[in-house]
Chains A and B, each alone.
Chain A
Amino acid sequence: MMCAWEAFMNLLPIWMRENVNSKGKETLQNLRLRVGQPPILVTSDKQISLSKTVTAEDLQFCINIASRYSPWSATTVTHGYITAQGGHRLGICGEAATLDGAISCIRVPTSICLRVARDFPGIAGKIKDLDGSILIIGKPGCGKTTLLRDVIRQKSNAGRENISVVDEREELFPRYNKSMCFPIGINTDVISGCSKAYGIDLMLRSMGPDIIAVDEITAHEDCTALLHVGWCGVKLLATAHASSRYDLLNRPVYRPIVESGLFDYLVVLHQDKSWCIERMNI
């Protein structure tokens, strides 16, 4: 297991670091900070509450560190999250300020959910040998991104295909101190920070990929971009929020890509981290 734990520790207010380090270094999944409440460490099997309560200054500290004191470069804050160094995601909640109907910033943050990014090399198993486009689905927090990362890496290291990764949120292959936190594979090119639609188009035109990989298809634009690139001789690897094939078909946003037959295989991830492979032909 790999994790940029030092980067995660740096995100926390100084008074909290030692406690979190001793209680959650190996197993921490989420850390929830709410103003006036004690910090809650969520591990794979239990919740641990610390004694001291969280203040508004503590939350501001976390946000400042996650954005590297640069609100202008953390534009995703308007979507309610910041990807910090090391790939750890900081979900922000509070009083939003809106401009022209869109959120311009979170004026008063009241709670934060810090998700620890971890990497488990070698979990892809036989998925790496599947030949065709693969869609990985599962509930939030069941390991879609982690599995996709390993599939990308192993397919890349097999050396037969070039993989272009559009890493919009910089969660698949995050950086820490200007280097990649997790191994990316020998045939992998990564573009991060831009939208999936733009990134997919750019990769297709400029990098000559055999496979294009994207994480978390959530919007119509993402599906449209995938459909646009489909049947161009490029295979796809993607993840989506759905717990089963039934869910996938019932979500209007995903229906076009399911009905089009764009993906050959469906990998369904379960909460206990097990998975099964299904053919997509319906």
Chain B
Amino acid sequence: MTLKLLGGIFIIFGCGGIGFVKAASHRREARILAEFISAIAYMQCEMQYRITPLPDLCAQTALQCTGVLRYTFSALADELNNQISPDVECCMLSALEVTRNLPKLTYVAMRSLGRALGNFGLEGQLKELDVIYIESKQTLTAFTKNQEVKLRSYQTLGICAGAVLVILFI
């Protein structure tokens, strides 16, 4: 009986844990995307005011970010400074290969950023950054819509699934 009880508790905690992890990963993705949007805003200001070349701009942006985003921008700056890749998009791909645990939405946004950078004069480049900024904001808004309800559901679903399994097995 004790063994069954322990097994049941273990299953409930296990399934509940999955729900909590899923919720945490959702929060992380939203946080990193929000940080990416701030980074784009920073890049726009820096570019407009100081006309900073891209490798320096990426290195500075890396310092404004934290965690995986800092690592990605830093890798991009290194790649640009290495002067081996033919264009920014290739540099971005190499940087993203180095940084593997970037959430999907931010990864997609970074790919767009790689395609947009290094192609235009100042005015065109700022417009391109503006487009990415707006798109990312829209993505973030859609992603975080009803976030709290959604996250609570993940957690509740996890616990309930655990409870159902316990009832079925015991």
Contact = CB atoms under 8 A, between A and B. Distances in A.
Is this pair of chains taken from one and the same complex? yes
Interface of A: 10-11, 14, 57, 60-61, 64-65, 67-73, 104-105
Contacts of A60: 86-87
B121 A69 contact: no
Given A61-B86, A64-B86, A68-B80, A105 B121 contact: yes
B80 A72 contact: no
B125 interface: yes
A11 B84 CA distance: 9
Contact of A71 (B55, B57, B84, B118): B118
Contact of A72 (B55, B88, B122): B122
A72 B125 contact: yes
Contacts of A71: 118-121, 125
Contacts of B91: 69
Nearest to B91: A69
B87 A69 contact: yes
B73 to A, nearest CB: 14
Interface string B114-146: 000111111001000000000000000000000
A159 to B, nearest CB: 34
B153 interface: no
Interface range on chain B (Cβ under 8 Å from partner): 20 to 34
B86 A57 contact: yes
A10 B52 contact: no
Nearest to B88: A69
Contacts of B121: 71-72, 104-105
Contacts of A105: 121
Contact of A70 (B53, B83, B84, B86): B53
Closest 3 CB pairs of A and B: A72-B122, A70-B53, A68-B53
A72 B83 contact: no
Contacts of A72: 47, 51, 120-122, 125
Given A69-B54, A70-B53, A14 B84 contact: yes
Contacts of A57: 86
Contacts of B86: 57, 60-61, 64
Contacts of B57: 70
Nearest to A67: B53
Given A65-B83, A69-B55, 9 more contacts: A11-B83, A14-B84, A67-B53, A69-B87, A69-B117, A70-B52, A71-B121, A73-B52, A73-B54
Nearest to B50: A73
A277 to B, nearest CB: 41
B16 to A, nearest CB: 48
Contacts of A69: 53-55, 80, 87-88, 91, 117-118
A149 B66 CA distance: 44
A127 B164 CA distance: 94
B53 A73 contact: yes
Interface in B41-100: 47, 51-55, 57, 80, 83-84, 86-88, 91
B163 to A, nearest CB: 56
A179 to B, nearest CB: 14
Nearest to B79: A69
B44 to A, nearest CB: 12
A73 B118 contact: no
Contacts of B88: 69
A9 B22 CA distance: 49
17 contacts: A10-B83, A57-B86, A60-B86, A68-B53, A68-B55, A68-B80, A69-B55, A69-B80, A69-B117, A70-B52, A70-B53, A70-B57, A71-B119, A71-B120, A72-B125, A73-B53, A105-B121
B62 to A, nearest CB: 16
Interface centre among A57, A68, A70 (most CB of B within 10 A): A70
